[in-house]
Structure 1
């Protein structure tokens, strides 16, 4: 036998509990789908297949992907030799993940996108609002993932740390959105970015979505420099907030430089804000996320 090959052996008990983890994950995805329908108070099947509401589909897809990211984190974090304990951990993290995603979306709707009714816009087939909703859900999940992997153990202290990181997540998303709204107003005669999104500006939604996802990866990069102290609740929170904002601003600066170098001579304000150039907005999104991923790679 070739000595370079690594043989993987699994006991029947390990295979049984791995299968149980997969069943739990599938049931949690079904639960997320059900919770989404209860939350929106509509017939999801009718919206998806009867009315062919693309915006509704984008929104529910983001919820399922966000939960999958958190389940990925729970599976990666599980280190106990007790397979039953790992399955319980998967279940608990999944339920907590559903709650955090829903609370995060609720706070985002009421506090960040405070000038519009997201539910009404999505039911009215507004793809722009659905894209922003999609980006915010996935961004929240990515940031929660970074907190889950940062904590140690599975106890009340790690739970408080996760909640602290969740608060920081929402705070950073709020600051990010307000900074972009301020930039948009300055470049567009004090027009409201949220009002423009309501009018269906897809390019702006892609640009803003890239900013939210870039912010999520920047916060993940910040987590690489934080040392976990189980009982240092206040310092954990303040350190998270400081480093998250620092890496977010650094991502913005690098993205600004990258856009000037990669897209020389192109007026992005005119192309994206005025001419609704989806292609250039996609390039902006890629550069913003790329710079954040670069930072994440450098500090990992």
Structure 2
């Protein structure tokens, strides 16, 4: 009987903690739309409902999904000691995630794809740019989630670790963009960014697969490292090295999988010349699947 009472008490306490987590998470998710509107100086209701701007909707959907992904790393189901500490911790991680996702969007715009004004093109209903924008924030959120799950506690070192992991992810995403851009220009004689401006949706889907799978490989690297505040930079350095190794492995395995799944199909011609969205979507799914398998194997 005493064991039953203890179980019920613990369950009630856990429900209280999870209720706080979900309340904070839903509140922050609700803030995404208004944050995007305020920062971009855009009437979101007008873009979404009156103008039926699908591109803006895709961009916002990416932001909402990214916030949900990041917050899922903070909801662990563990008891923080008090409802107040749980609320502060969840809100702190949530706000940190929101800031890092927004900062990642800025870095992607200014360093990965600096040759055009993303917001203007999305407001002009450019679906290709909107898809890339959504993929970039989701990729950032995947790494932020991994970092939140990797760190322990709520100290200055915790947030230094979060920022350091975020920097690693942004460097990796910029590198993969430069490689993707170099390969596309070599094959086609025009820049990748010009193709996006020209609404090359198939290419944007392929690139989105590269971004998200790269972020997942960076996440897989975190499974090898134990968080130690006293050896923080050593842990981050290990994360970088393992991320590079896993990115290389991901590239090889994805190339093999695409070759087998799309045997007999000229993928370059179909995606880059004929803008075959179906083939590009399959490529995205393959990239995602291989990255997911790597995460499963490494966890």
Do these two structures clear the TM 0.5 threshold for a shared fold by scoring above it? yes
How many residue pairs were aligned? 293
Is 74-83 or 259-268 further displaced after alignment? 74-83
User: Please, what TM-score do these two structures have when normalized by structure 1?
Assistant: 0.93
In the alignment, which residue of structure 1 is the partner of 2:31?
31
**Counterpart Cα distance in 1 of 2:77 and 2:199:** 40
**167-176 or 233-242: bigger deviation:** 233-242
Residues 17 and 83 in structure 1, CA contact (< 8 A), matched pair in contact too: yes
Shift of 1:142: 0.5
Q: CA RMSD in A?
A: 1.6
Aligned to 1:259: 258
Q: Please identify, of 244-253 and 171-180, the stretch whose mean Cα deviation from structure 2 is larger.
A: 244-253
Per-residue CA deviation, residues 57-99 of structure 1 (Å, 9 max, x unaligned), is: 0111111111111111111275423232112111111111111
Structure 1 residue 211 corresponds to structure 2 residue 210: yes
Q: Which residue of 1 aligns with 2:40?
A: 40
Cα distance in 1 between the residues matched to 2:97 and 2:233? 23
SS of equivalent to 1:232: helix
Which residue of structure 1 aligns with residue 50 of structure 2? 50
Change in 2 beyond 3 A, CA 1:273/1:77: farther
Residue in structure 2 matched with residue 272 of structure 1 by the alignment: 271
Residues in 1 aligned to 2:51 and 2:152: alpha-carbon distance in whole angstroms: 46
Secondary structure of 2:153's aligned partner: coil
TM-score of the pair, normalised by structure 2: 0.93
Cα 1:289/1:178, change in 2 over 3 Å: same
**Matches for 1:157-176 after TM superposition, within 5 Å:** 157-176=157-176
Q: Distance in 2 between matches of 1:176 and 1:79?
A: 39
In structure 1, what is the Cα distance between the partners aligned to 2:269 and 2:14? Answer: 58
In the superposition, relative to structure 1, how do residues 13 and 106 fare at CA in structure 2: closer, same or farther (>3 Å)?
same
Instruction: List runs of 5+ in structure 1 lacking aligned partners.
Output: 1-6
Which SS does the other structure have where 2:141 is aligned? helix
Match of 1:3 in 2: none
SS at match of 1:74: coil
The Cα offsets for residues 105-148 of structure 1, whole Å up to 9 and x where unpaired, read as 01110111111110011000000000001111111000111111
Match of 1:131 in 2: 131
Q: Is the 8 A contact 2:93 2:148 kept in 1?
A: no
The Cα offsets for residues 183-216 of structure 1, whole Å up to 9 and x where unpaired, read as: 1111112x10010011001000100001111111
